[in-house]
Structure 1
Amino acid sequence: MISATTGKTQSSAMQASVLALNKTYSPVHVISAKRAFCLLSKDIAEVISVEDGSFMNYDFSSWIEISELRSEFNERTELEDWIFSVNFEIQVPRVVRLLHYNRIPNNTIKFNRRNIFIRDSYRCQYCHKKFGVKQLSLDHVVPRSHGGGMSWENIVSACRRCNTKKGGRTPSQAGMKLLQKPAKPSRNPVLLQQVKHEKYACWRNFVSTKELLACE
């Protein structure tokens, strides 16, 4: 049983993101390290490690052995997350494969504030500047007073200044131009956001080139 020691580092390591693949190596979910270890310990999943361009498959016990060897030879890197249990040290895997899950991902993506901000790269779609979450708001491209609804195609990120300036008008009426046409993401925005970071670079082996270009 893995029991993380106290401290911010251990806590954050347990919450690190892990890409879960189905049996045919297609991305299904982004889960926490804690959830991944639970699946591994029950033999529901295996670790997929990308090493020199090849995929290596490890069951839970093998991954523990590999982790202990890497720790013994001081092969850790700053981009990795590690968990220290009572009896052993283990590296947090970046990818796991569900051994008995054959379903094709249905790409159901939650329509919510967070995913819209991620889709739009935290950038106001009118002035094109990046902002923090607290400085961003949601704007109806076609206002509700004009029949505009709540959908991926009609809601964009906007800074408060631009949202106020636009008011209850369409972009053309307000003399404002959208940075890009809003659309439903083809993949979970969280995955596409994290795959840009070097920490999760190995995820790029399981995401299409088209999707990678779309998130740049």
Structure 2
Amino acid sequence: MLDTGVLVLNRVYQPVHVTSVRRAFTLLYQGVARAIDEQFQLFDFASWSELAAAEHDSVGTVTRRIRVPRVIVLLAYDHLPKGRVRFSRFNIYARDDNTCQYCGGRFRRAELNLDHVVPRSRGGSTTWENVVCSCVSCNLRKGGRTPEEARMRLLRAPTRPRWTPVFRSAARRALYREWRPFLSLADAAYWNAELLE
């Protein structure tokens, strides 16, 4: 339970991070954040720990059970998350949803690798627009050729993403109903905004 997710909002109620319950309790206890309930009321640690934990996820202490906060608001943080999605293996896997872009198979990340659509040996660059996830067998089959030369088709052309991967995956899974009001606002107002190069 202590390692499950808690949505972290900045002080203007925009999502900036997903953290663990353990870290959320630490931030609440230190007075850096406030927990928010279904009626959008804010609670410090003392008042949150007095709420009834029945019918909610909770953690036990020596003296009582404390309700798990699913959304917290940072009191002194008004910055927006970085708008630029870092070009990394993790983010490429997130963009392609752990799916081979040639055969369409969904794999564990350990069973995937990255493929340059236009091979580096042919001048292909290592950029968002030229790198895709592929399974090992498709990557071996394609080799140092272009997809056309290997008679393989891409499921979709690779592009630079316009989202932050943590929130994209959280919104798609909708892990906790308490997150929905903040993620849908973010999708409409911030996360789907076009990023500048």
TM-score, length basis structure 2: 0.84
Select which of 162, 180, 188 maps to 1:204: 180
8 Å Cα contact 2:102-2:152 kept in structure 1: yes
Alignment root-mean-square deviation, CA: 2.2
Aligned to 2:147: 171
Distance 1:131 1:188, change over 3 A: same
Tell me which protein shows more helix as a share of its residues: 1
Residue 209 of structure 1, CA deviation: 4.6
With over 3 angstroms needed to count, the CA separation of the structure-2 counterparts of 1:165 and 1:201, relative to structure 1, is farther
Cα distance change, pair 109–16 in 1 and its aligned pair in 2 (3 A)? farther
Offset of 1:149 from its aligned partner? Answer: 2.5
SS of alignment partner, residue 175 of structure 2: helix
CA gap of 1:196–1:101, structure 2 versus 1, over 3 A, is: same
Q: Deviations over 1:91-121 (max 9, x none)?
A: 2222111111111222344433233222211
**Do 1:120 and 1:157's aligned partners in 2 also have CA atoms closer than 8 Å?**
yes
Q: How far is the alpha carbon of 1:163 from its aligned partner? A: 0.7
Matched, 1:84 2:69: no
Change (3 A) 1:94 1:187: farther
Among all aligned residue pairs of Structure 1 and Structure 2, give the percentage whose two residues are the same amino acid.
44
- One-letter amino acid matched to 1:31: T
Task: Give the conservation status (yes or no) of the 8 Å contact 2:100–2:112.
Answer: yes
Q: Which moves more between the two structures, 181-190 or 132-141?
A: 181-190
Q: Verify: 1:28 aligned to 2:16, yes or no.
A: yes
**Aligned counterpart, 2:44:** 59
Give the superposition deviation at 1:25. Answer: 0.8
8 Å Cα contact 2:33/2:72 also seen in 1: yes
Measured after TM superposition, the shift of residue 39 of structure 1 is 1.0
Structure 1 length as normaliser, TM-score? Answer: 0.77
Number of the residue aligned with 1:101: 77
The aligned residue for residue 44 of structure 1 is 32
**Residues 147, 194 of structure 1: CA spacing in aligned structure 2 closer, same or farther, 3 A cutoff?**
same
SS of the residue aligned with 1:90? strand
Structure 2, unpaired ranges of 5+: 193-197
Give 1:146 deviation, angstroms: 2.0
* Aligned residue identity for 1:102: D
Instruction: Using the TM superposition, name which of 160-169 and 131-140 deviates more.
Output: 131-140
Counterpart residue identity of residue 171, structure 2:
V
User: Which of the numbers 112, 116, 125 marks the counterpart of 2:88?
Assistant: 112
- Provide the C-alpha distance between the structure 1 equivalents of 2:177 and 2:150, rounded to a whole number of angstroms: 41
- Once residues 70 and 179 of structure 1 are traced to their aligned partners in structure 2, the CA distance between those partners, rounded to angstroms, is 47
The separation in 2 between residues aligned to 1:126 and 1:209, in whole angstroms, is 31
Amino acid at match of 1:194: A
